[in-house]
Amino acid sequence: MRDPTPSSNRTTQPATQARTATDRGALVMAAEACPGGLGEGPRSRVMSGAACPSVMAGAACPSVMAGAGRPSTASPRASSNGVDAQPSPATTQQPTLQLTRPPRRKPSPSIFRRVLSFRGAIIAQLLVLLAALIGVVPYLWMLSSSLRTMDNMFALPIQWIPHPLNWRSYVIAWHAQDFTRYFINSGVVAVAITFGNLLLCSLAGYSLAKFRYFGRGVLFLLILSTMMLPLEVTMVPLFLIIKRLDWANSYQGLIVPFLVDGFGVFLMRQYMLGIPKDLIDSARIDGASELQIFWQIVLPLCKPALVALGVFTFREAWDMYIWPLIIVSKDSLRTLPLAISLFMSSYGTAWDQLMAIAVLGTLPMILLFFFLQRAFIQGIAVTGLKE
C-alpha cells in the first residue's frame, strides 16, 4: 500500500532528528569542557538546565572558546536529494537565563566611628544645655530674689527657693508708684513703633526687591550703613530736631524717631526676594494696582518675616531707656524702664520690690515669644536663605 506521507516530509524528518542529536551532543561537550560546573555529572546539568554560569549569563564559556579550533565530531547535516533542510526555529533558538547580581552591601561603620559620632552628639547636647543654663540663670535669680526678704537677699549660699516665700513685695512695689500708668505708656510706645516699622519697612523692602530704578543699589547701601551708627552718635542731632519741632514731653517725640529702622528694611527686602515675580506680574495683568498687590498678595506671603520683625521691634521699644530719659521729664509720660529706676536712690534700694517689678516687666516679652515662636523661628530661618 502506498504511504500517504509526501516524500519531502519523509526526507526532512531524518535530517531534523540528526540536527537535534548534534546540538544536544555539542551542549554535553560544552558542559564537560567547562570547569565551572558544580553538582552532579555534566549530562544531568545540561538536561536540567544547570549549565556553565557563563553560558547561563548569555556569554560563551571560556573553556569552549579555548577549544574552538578543534575539529567537530558531529556528523554533517545531510538531506536527501542533496538539498539542505532549513532548521526550524524551535531547534535553533535556545533559551538563555539572565542572572542579576545581588546589590553590594555598604560596609558598616566601624565601632570606633560609631563611638566617636555618639560622643560628638553627647558633647553637642551638653554644650547646648550649658548655653541655655547660662542664659536662664539670671532670670531664675531675678525670680528667686523677688520672693526673698531684704534680710536674706544676699545670703550665702544662695537660696534658689526662699523660705518663706515673700509675695508681699509684688503688692508693695505695684502700689509704691503709678505702675499702671507706666505700663500703659510703655505699651503705647512699643505698639506704635512696632506697627510703624512693619508698615514702612515692608513698603521700603518691597520697593527695593521688586522695582528697578536708578540708584536702587546705592540707596540700599545707605540704608544698611545706618545700622552701623549707634543711638549715642545720632542722639544730639536727633534731640535738636525734636526740640525744634516742640515734641519734647510728648508721645510723638518718643515714637516718630523710631518708626523705621535699617534692620527692618533689610529683613523685609531679603524675604521679598523669594516671592516669584510671575505672581506679581499676573496680578498686574489682571488689573490690580500696586497697593492692591502689596496688601493682598505680598503682605500675606510675608507673615513669618513680619512676625520676626515685630518681635525684634517690640522688644527694642519695650526696653528703651536712654531716649525716654532725655525726652521725658513729666511723670505721666514715664515708661516702665524709667519707673524701675525710681527704686534706686541714694537712701537705699528696695531690691525685693525692684526685682518684683522687673519680673512683671519681663512677662509681656515672654508671652509674646511663647505665642509667636513658631512663626518667629520660621521667619528668621527662611530669611537667612535668601540671596
Cα within 13 Å of Cα(214), Cβ side: 0
Domain of residue 157, residue span = 109-166
Residue-level pLDDT at 112: 59
Same domain, residue pair 132 and 155: yes
Give a yes or no: residue 347 inside a domain: yes
Give a yes or no: residue 99 inside a domain: no
Phi and psi of 348, rounded to 5°? 135, 165
Q: How many CB atoms lie within 10 A of CB 300?
A: 9
Task: Give the three-class secondary structure for 348.
Answer: strand
Same domain, residue pair 156 and 178: no
SS3 string of 190-218? HHHHHHHHHHHHHHHHHHHHHCCCCCHHH
End position of a domain, from candidates 117, 147, 166 = 166
Give a yes or no: residue 97 inside a domain: no
Give a yes or no: residue 24 inside a domain: yes
Task: Give the three-class secondary structure for 387.
Answer: coil
Residue-level pLDDT at 103: 66
| CATH classification at residue 175 | 1.10.3720.10
Same domain, residue pair 54 and 194: no
Question: Taking the alpha carbons of 183, 241, 341, 197 in that order, is the dihedral positive or negative?
Answer: positive
Residue-level pLDDT at 379: 64
Same domain, residue pair 188 and 154: no
What whole-number distance in Å separates Cα of residue 278 and Cα of residue 83?
Answer: 78
What domain count does the chain have? 3
What whole-number distance in Å separates Cα of residue 194 and Cα of residue 207?
Answer: 20
Same domain, residue pair 217 and 251: yes
In the block, residue with C-alpha cell 506704635: 192
Same domain, residue pair 39 and 177: no
Crossing angle of the two packed helices 351-383 and 111-146, in degrees rounded to 10: 140
What whole-number distance in Å separates Cα of residue 374 and Cα of residue 284?
Answer: 33
End position of a domain, from candidates 147, 166, 185 = 166
Give a yes or no: residue 150 inside a domain: yes
Same domain, residue pair 143 and 201: no
Residue-level pLDDT at 202: 93
Q: How many CB atoms lie within 10 A of CB 252?
A: 13
Same domain, residue pair 30 and 160: no
This model's pTM is above 0.95? no
Same domain, residue pair 128 and 229: no
Give a yes or no: residue 85 inside a domain: no
In the block, residue with C-alpha cell 545720632: 234
Same domain, residue pair 151 and 177: no
Are 18 and 77 a contacting pair, CB within 8 Å? yes
Residue-level pLDDT at 107: 55
- Regions in the chain scoring below 70 on pLDDT: 1-116, 345-348, 376, 378-387
Q: What does the buried/exposed string (b/e) look like for 126-147 if buried means 16 or more CB atoms within 10 Å of the residue's CB?
A: eeeeeeeeeeeeeeeeeebbbb
- With residue 352 as reference, give the H or E element that holds it: helix 351-383
Same domain, residue pair 222 and 326: yes
Question: Taking the alpha carbons of 334, 340, 345, 347 in that order, is the dihedral positive or negative?
Answer: positive
Q: What does the buried/exposed string (b/e) look like for 236-250 if buried means 16 or more CB atoms within 10 Å of the residue's CB?
A: eebbeebeeeebbeb
Give a yes or no: residue 89 inside a domain: no
Same domain, residue pair 24 and 55: yes
Give a yes or no: residue 79 inside a domain: no
Rounded to 5°, the CA angle 328-334-339 comes to 125
According to DSSP, residue 294 is labeled I
